[in-house]
Amino acid sequence: MFVDPDLLQYDEVWAAAGTWNYVFGAAPADIAGLAGGVVTSLKRA
C-alpha cells in the first residue's frame, strides 16, 4: 500500500469497507502503519 504524504496532514480520514453501512474514521498514520504502507509522493512531476 502506498500512502501519499498529503494525507498525513489530516487528523482523521474516512474509509469504506464494502458497503455504505461500513465506514470508519481513523488517523491516516494509523491506517498506514497497520497496513504496512509506504509513505511516498504519488504526484506527477
In a domain, 22, yes or no: yes
In a domain, 17, yes or no: yes
pTM here is 0.69
Contact indicator for 1, 42 with CB cutoff of 8 Å: no
- Note the pLDDT of residue 5: 94
In a domain, 34, yes or no: yes
Average pLDDT over residues 8-35: 90
Confidence of residue 26 (pLDDT cuts 50, 70, 90): very high
Give yes or no for residue 40 having a pLDDT over 90. Answer: yes
| Percent of the chain's residues with pLDDT above 90 | 60
In a domain, 28, yes or no: yes
Q: Taking all residues of the chain, what is their mean pLDDT, rounded to a whole number?
A: 90
Rounded Cα gap, residues 44 and 32, in angstroms: 21
* Containing structural domain, residue 29: 2-39
Give yes or no for residue 45 having a pLDDT over 80. Answer: no
- Estimate to the nearest angstrom the gap between the alpha carbon of 22 and the chain centroid: 16
In a domain, 45, yes or no: no
Query: Domain count of the chain?
Result: 1
